[in-house]
Amino acid sequence: MKSIIKITIFFVFASFLLTSCGNNGKSGNDGALRSSNAEKVYVAPGEHDEFYAFMSGGYSGNLTVYGLPSGRMFKEIPVFSQFPTSGYGYSEETKPMLNTSFGFVPWDDSHHPDISQTNGELDGRWIFINGNNTPRIARISLKTFETEEIIEVPNSAGNHSSSFITENTEYVVAGTRFAVPVPQKDMPISEYKGNFKGALSFIKVDEETGRMGIKFQILMPGFNYDLSHPGRDKSHGWFFFTTYNTEEANSLLEVNASQNDKDFIAAINWKKIEEYVNNGGGTKMPTNYAHNVYDEHTHTATTTMVKEVLTVNPTEIPGAVYLLPTPKSPHGCDVDPTGEYIIGNGKLSADLTVHSFTKMLDAIENEKFDGDAYGIPILKYEEVLAGSVKSGGLGPLHTEFDDKGNAYTTFFITSEVVKWKVGTWEVLDRKPTYYSVGHLMVPGGNSRKPFGKYVVAMNKITKDRYLPTGPELEHSAQLYDITGDKMELLLDFPTHGEPHYAAGIPASIIKEQSQKIYRLDENKHPYAVTEPGQAKVTRDGNEVHVYMSMIRSHFTPDNIEGVKVGDKVYFHITNHEQDFDVPHGFAMIGANNSELLIMPGQTKTLTWEPKKVGVWPFYCTDFCSALHQEMQGYIRVSPKDSNIDLSWSLDGE
Amino acid sequence: MKKAGILMIIGSLLLLGLFKFPLWNIMLGAPQYPDPLGMNIHINGIKGVSEFDLQNIDGLNHYIGMKTIPKPEEMWEFSIFPKVIIGMVVLGVLIGLFGVLGKLSYKWFILWFILMSILGVLGMYDFNAWLTAYGSDLNPNAIMKIMNEDGTPMTYKPPLFGSQKMLNFDVSSLPHTGAYMMFVGMMLTIGAFIIGKKESKKL
């Protein structure tokens, strides 16, 4: 009898599974086997992908570059983390990039890349990304695909609602996840409520150079500012932030920050605040943060410590900030291409809340308020609500858009992507993800002009999707074709680190501008040697400077004598190649840092502190030519008290 | 003789194209050079097709012991050729002018053509001699010494005209715009000769 019940339960359960698979999984596994799907992601040898996808590295601290639709990875761009592969963060030139007010911080957690825009469309000049842990924003050139600038964000902690740009790249915006005392001070944690602040930073981007500078910080109530997106087109001039923990709990947040039925989307009229500070508004607060800038011509980064920041109290600027009640701890905050709809992805609910920008303006004008929070007006929920998407899923996180009026939302708990119609809120399609999807990305999906051909789902859980590699697995992305009425799963591909968000752009916009070499005749590095004849070795106390050049397939000089134990040797090495894709490497035995990988025309510096007497080799690490293996040299290290003079040579000369 | 003279003037002036456009072009393609390296030979020097091509060709050639590509001051040709071309242009224009004025026989036109052809052949001979020297005068300490099947050292003379496989490179050598303009110009002077002959018969 028992077994009959068991079997019955099993069959009921199995039939339930089968039915739900019938609805959801049809073009999942089966579809991917179809040869037409294989053709859709096949990029023949030697041909190029249609899109670039820049995926954040999450806890790798970096940014990875992929091609779509192939899912091939092209490059890992070091941003917030030391990268021994190239020497980033180890070379003397790039160490300053990782300076902060906490000193040298060699790692971060990179989250949300965003490509620069003009008139709300991707322009492909720069890509920005936030460091979450020690709050920083980086700007990466899309000509060199290298990090050019990192600015620390003071008064912020957990730089998560970042780094999103306004539609003409006027600002890159960074919001704090953790509320903290501003300025920081020694106080009981339990006194958080009402005392901590949430700083939202507006970082001005220079139109020509891309140079960043904090224009102002809005000191908001001590909520947690989760994600943000700019208004665009009609709502250009506004910025929207989701909040959670409006309860202002300081412990066991999973319970205590989930009590309020509604949290808020904060709507910031940044144009109004900009005007206010341009007219002398705001308070200058003493602070200390690092601004690190890499110069492409000196190939060197410098750090400037900034001692002051302009803060703004939002209650002092009438009409600058409003709160839109949004159910259930909203996570993603997304704005559709027309700028009319602001989507709050209430991560603890089944439904998506959509606010209307027009209704919001109307509610503001007619003062349809529902009280205030710390003096900031709360708009009446019903007065701003445009509609809600009854998704049937659980745990909505993020929404992107295509160019046909559709939206795509990820559901973490039910592990799926749901396609719905903007305006009617009708669910059109749903496809499972494998497994537990976080962000998703449509190229240009957060601009006025999305390129609605593919959506990439970035999944948090990989499990059995690939050959197992022990307990630690790469994350898994999935590519869907969204050109038809129904989404079609085309491809799985592993992604490095933990991609949170990604930004995609048609390759045609940026591939022609991708730089091939650095010009040697524009190299302004103070220790560069632009002719092999300038190679030399100098001593200044116990500092030895080696001015070295490299070309296929030798170093000049390759024999150095007169170095002593206790010296600090600086190898300043210039790659004299001016040919595309001919880097040379440099590795020194016993160096306590990394190698250098030096691009044509570039100069990099590695330090080495010889500890042992002897004759020690160095060599090129990049298989540069048929004679790569011969690209090597020796350094003679003599005892500390030795009186051997410095000498250097190549082939006895 | 007016028509013929004008044709003669135009024909000789077309030689001036050599000061702007390359006479010859040599391209080197290999699997790892999807964008081939190339040199353009002008009458006053050799230039890279892309900015750093010469440096990169020299960089490759040092493995097999070839000399670097000569700078303009390293070859007398690059100072003499421009003078010869200018001389021929001036001569051709003068002949044409006198032809227009009817003070000169049409036979001068063909004389100019014959002189230009002789100079052209000499130039080609000289060019070929340089290519041979460039390709076979190799550094005895070259990094790579490749032998032919018969045991003689391999040489690397690019073809004067056409394509050839050399080690991993496909080398092609063809006339370029300047040469084509010169060729058209010279054809025009033959035309001038023919028309001049007809016109003089009519008289």
SS (H, E, C) A511-555: HHHCCCCCCHHHCCCCCCCCCHHHCEEEEECCEEEEEEEEECCEE
**Residue B58 host element (H or E):** helix B53-61
Across all residues in chain B, what is the average pLDDT?
92
From residue A250, how far is each of A222, A223, A315, A354, B130 by CA, in Å? 11, 11, 24, 29, 84
Question: How large is the angle between the packed helices B77-100 and B177-202, nearest 10 degrees?
Answer: 20
Give the C-alpha separation, A139 to A129, whole Å.
7
A551–B contact, CB cutoff 8 A = yes
Return the number of other C-beta atoms located less than 10 Å from residue A12's C-beta: 10
- For residue B56, the distance in angstroms to the closest alpha carbon of chain A comes to 7
B59: which chain A residues are within 8 Å (Cβ-Cβ)? 551-552, 577, 579
Confidence band (pLDDT; 50, 70, 90) for A176? very high
For A78-110, the pLDDT digits (tens) are 999 999 999 999 999 999 999 999 999 999 999
- For residue A145, the distance in angstroms to the closest alpha carbon of chain B comes to 22
For A260-290, the pLDDT digits (tens) are 889 999 999 999 999 999 999 999 999 999 9
A580: which chain B residues are within 8 Å (Cβ-Cβ)? 35
A552–B contact, CB cutoff 8 A = yes
B35: which chain A residues are within 8 Å (Cβ-Cβ)? 580
Question: Which residue carries 């330090």 as its tokens?
Answer: A607
A554: which chain B residues are within 8 Å (Cβ-Cβ)? none
Residue of B51, B59, B144 lying closest to A552 (CB–CB): B59
B167–A contact, CB cutoff 8 A = no
Do the chains contact at A578 and B56, CB–CB below 8 Å?
Answer: yes
Structure tokens at A483: 């050109």
Beta bridge partners of residue A399, listed in sequence order = A409
Confidence band (pLDDT; 50, 70, 90) for B71? very high
Residue of B52, B56, B143 lying closest to A627 (CB–CB): B143
Question: Closest chain B residue to A601 measured between Cα atoms?
Answer: B52
Give the C-alpha separation, A396 to A402, whole Å.
18
Question: How large is the angle between the packed helices B107-136 and B77-100, nearest 10 degrees?
Answer: 170
Beta bridge partners of residue A149, listed in sequence order = A139, A293
- Nearest CA among B193, B166, B165, B161 for reference residue B179: B161
A517–B contact, CB cutoff 8 A = yes
The reported pLDDT for the residue numbered A27 is 44
For A198-217, the pLDDT digits (tens) are 999 999 999 999 999 999 99
A579: which chain B residues are within 8 Å (Cβ-Cβ)? 52, 55-56, 59
Return the number of other C-beta atoms located less than 10 Å from residue A53's C-beta: 28
From residue A319, how far is each of A61, A268, A269, A322, A376 by CA, in Å? 38, 9, 8, 7, 9
Give the CA angle between residues A221, A225, A229 to the nearest 5°: 125
Give the β-pairing of A568-575 and A543-551. Answer: parallel
The mean pLDDT of A562-567, rounded to a whole number, is: 97
Do the chains contact at B59 and A577, CB–CB below 8 Å?
Answer: yes
Whether the predicted pLDDT of A322 surpasses 60: yes
A552: which chain B residues are within 8 Å (Cβ-Cβ)? 59
- For residue A597, the distance in angstroms to the closest alpha carbon of chain B comes to 20
The mean pLDDT of A36-62, rounded to a whole number, is: 96
B143: which chain A residues are within 8 Å (Cβ-Cβ)? 627
Question: Closest chain B residue to A578 measured between Cα atoms?
Answer: B52
B36: which chain A residues are within 8 Å (Cβ-Cβ)? none
Give the C-alpha separation, A454 to A41, whole Å.
11
Cβ contact A456:A504 at 8 Å? yes
Confidence band (pLDDT; 50, 70, 90) for A395? very high
Question: Closest chain A residue to B143 measured between Cα atoms?
Answer: A627
A515–B contact, CB cutoff 8 A = no
Whether the predicted pLDDT of A19 surpasses 50: no
The mean pLDDT of A147-157, rounded to a whole number, is: 98
Confidence band (pLDDT; 50, 70, 90) for A347? confident
Cβ contact A133:A102 at 8 Å? no
Return the number of other C-beta atoms located less than 10 Å from residue B50's C-beta: 15
A45–B contact, CB cutoff 8 A = no
The reported pLDDT for the residue numbered A17 is 46
Do the chains contact at A517 and B63, CB–CB below 8 Å?
Answer: no
The mean pLDDT of A13-18, rounded to a whole number, is: 46
Which of A:553-582 have CB within 8 Å of B? 577-580
Beta bridge partners of residue A463, listed in sequence order = none
Displacement of CA A595 from its chain's centroid (Å): 25
Weakest-pLDDT range from A19-23, A41-45, A79-83, A266-270: A19-23
Do the chains contact at B63 and A626, CB–CB below 8 Å?
Answer: yes
Weakest-pLDDT range from A224-238, A249-263, A424-438, A468-482: A249-263
Residue of B35, B52, B63 lying closest to A578 (CB–CB): B52
Cβ contact B46:B73 at 8 Å? no
Whether the predicted pLDDT of A196 surpasses 50: yes
B144: which chain A residues are within 8 Å (Cβ-Cβ)? 626
Residue of B52, B63, B143 lying closest to A579 (CB–CB): B52
Which of A:436-495 have CB within 8 Å of B? none
Whether the predicted pLDDT of A257 surpasses 60: yes
Do the chains contact at A578 and B143, CB–CB below 8 Å?
Answer: no
Give the C-alpha separation, A409 to A353, whole Å.
12
B58–A contact, CB cutoff 8 A = no
Residue of A578, A580, A627 lying closest to B55 (CB–CB): A578
* Residue with the larger pLDDT of the pair B158 and A237: A237
Cβ contact A502:A113 at 8 Å? yes
Structure tokens at A96: 């300053």
The mean pLDDT of B185-201, rounded to a whole number, is: 91
Give the C-alpha separation, A440 to A462, whole Å.
16
Under DSSP, the state recorded for A282 is: S
Cβ contact A528:A603 at 8 Å? yes
For residue A475, the SS3 value is strand
- For residue B55, the distance in angstroms to the closest alpha carbon of chain A comes to 8
Q: Which of A580, A581, A628 to mutate to test the interface with B (most CBs of B within 10 A)?
A: A580
For B170-180, the pLDDT digits (tens) are 999 999 999 99
The reported pLDDT for the residue numbered A18 is 44
Q: What percent of chain A has pLDDT over 70?
A: 95
b/e map A81-92, b = 16+ CB within 10 Å:
bbbeebbbbbbb
Question: Closest chain A residue to B50 measured between Cα atoms?
Answer: A579
Question: Which residue carries 């050139």 as its tokens?
Answer: A141
Confidence band (pLDDT; 50, 70, 90) for A4? low
The reported pLDDT for the residue numbered A28 is 45
Contacts of A565 (CB under 8 A, 6+ apart): A610, A611, A612, A613, A637, A638, A639, A640
- For residue A208, the distance in angstroms to the closest alpha carbon of chain B comes to 27
Whether the predicted pLDDT of A23 surpasses 50: no
Highest mean pLDDT among A168-172, B33-37, B131-135, B196-200: A168-172
Across all residues in chain A, what is the average pLDDT?
94
For B114-169, the pLDDT digits (tens) are 999 999 999 999 999 999 999 999 998 888 888 888 888 888 998 999 999 988 89
The reported pLDDT for the residue numbered A12 is 46
Question: How large is the angle between the packed helices B77-100 and B2-13, nearest 10 degrees?
Answer: 170
The reported pLDDT for the residue numbered A33 is 54
The pTM of this model reads 0.91
From residue A261, how far is each of A240, A247, A256, A394 by CA, in Å? 20, 10, 12, 16
Give the C-alpha separation, B129 to B75, whole Å.
13
Burial of residue A189 (number of CB atoms within 10 Å: 0-12, 13-18, 19+): exposed
A628–B contact, CB cutoff 8 A = no
**CB pairs < 8 Å spanning A and B:** 18
A627–B contact, CB cutoff 8 A = yes
What ipTM does the predicted assembly reach? 0.85
Q: What percent of chain B has pLDDT over 70?
A: 100
Do the chains contact at A552 and B143, CB–CB below 8 Å?
Answer: no
For A401-436, the pLDDT digits (tens) are 999 999 999 999 999 999 999 999 999 999 999 999
Cβ contact B41:B26 at 8 Å? yes
Whether the predicted pLDDT of A15 surpasses 80: no
Whether the predicted pLDDT of A368 surpasses 60: yes
- Nearest CA among A383, A306, A391 for reference residue A351: A391
Structure tokens at A99: 């300076």
User: What's the N-to-C CA distance of chain A in angstroms?
Assistant: 96
For residue B112, the SS3 value is helix
Left (φ > 0), alpha (ψ -120 to 50) or beta: where does A251 sit?
beta
Contacts of B91 (CB under 8 A, 6+ apart): B12, B112
Q: Which of B28, B37, B55 to mutate to test the interface with A (most CBs of A within 10 A)?
A: B55
Backbone angles phi, psi at B14, to 5 degrees: -60, -20
Q: Which of A579, A581, A630, A651 to mutate to test the interface with B (most CBs of B within 10 A)?
A: A579
Cis upstream peptide for A337 (omega within 30°): no
Do the chains contact at B59 and A551, CB–CB below 8 Å?
Answer: yes
